[in-house]
Amino acid sequence: MTEFALLLTALLFGGMTFFSFGFAPVLFKQLPMAQVRPLLRGTFPYYYLAIILLSAICALVALGVSGLAAGLLGLICLATIYARQVLMPQINAATDREDQTLFKRLHGLSVVIQLIQIGLAGWAVLLFS
């Protein structure tokens, strides 16, 4: 059970890290901004849904191994629900209104949440290893 929890959580950690530090930055380097924004805007709902589902599964599997890890993974799930259902629509609305100040603040919040989530996922991986 511990090995399965470790593999699932490592998948979560790796996916979140790759999306944040691999996929998104490469898009900004390879495509014009006019193409990057709609592509990322269309990608985030699926990315968040994948993180919600995977972190929930990880949390359930972790229950049999580590209560702390299960709690960390549950926090990732809840924070991602907030990011997808509340924060992302606010960011999109600020972008549509061309409100750069609000966009920067909300986007900054989403980045901080994502970095904390990556840290929590990494912590959970360490708890299983």
| pLDDT score of 1 more than 90 | no
pLDDT 10s digits, 36-62: 888 988 999 999 999 999 999 999 999
* Sequence ranges of the domains in the chain: 2-24+35-128
Q: What is the pLDDT of residue 36?
A: 87
pLDDT, mean over the chain: 95
Q: What is the pLDDT of residue 88?
A: 96
CA–CA gap between residue 87 and residue 96 (Å, rounded) = 14
CA–CA gap between residue 8 and residue 39 (Å, rounded) = 27
| Inter-residue contact 1 to 69 (CB < 8 Å) | no
